[in-house]
Structure 1
């Protein structure tokens, strides 16, 4: 009967967290061994790894998936505000836009 229960149970998939924990522990062991050999070499190795990590992070390109889509061209109706825009003025900062609504004209939701 014990064999049937084992056969019916689905095998567990390895966890990504467990793999990350193993890598952290192995990295700690390597750093400890390097510091045990020579403190100076350990400090230089940590500085080198930190510099390489920072350089790699700075060179990585960010995806455009989180960028705000451009406003529709030729349209003066902005859905987020619910009114027509009288004029659009570029602000003092880069990418800053100031919208001046037409006074007293609220656009109804249709």
Structure 2
């Protein structure tokens, strides 16, 4: 019995489009059954599913409008050199401005704040 050669590309991953088609067919069957039982139940289930889909999409859009996470790059000034980066946040009242907070190693309980127009890189 000859041995099968292993696939150099690894096992094939299932397609996301195929999974979406399966879910669409299953949802169609559920709605068909709901309409077959009672027309009002079918309409209500369709409205409920559409409301849920719209709510989920609106929630996802509001999450995507958040500012990008801070990166490792930061502005350099003579006071910031060699200090530990504590946090980066966008400035609320001026778009495109960032607040960098650093902690000096030689002075405990002190935070240096640097405001810069250069965004952090991800």
Instruction: Decide which structure has the larger Cα Rg and report it.
Output: 1
Bucket of the pairwise TM-score, normalised by the shorter protein: 0.3 to 0.5
* Greater helix fraction, Structure 1 or Structure 2: 1
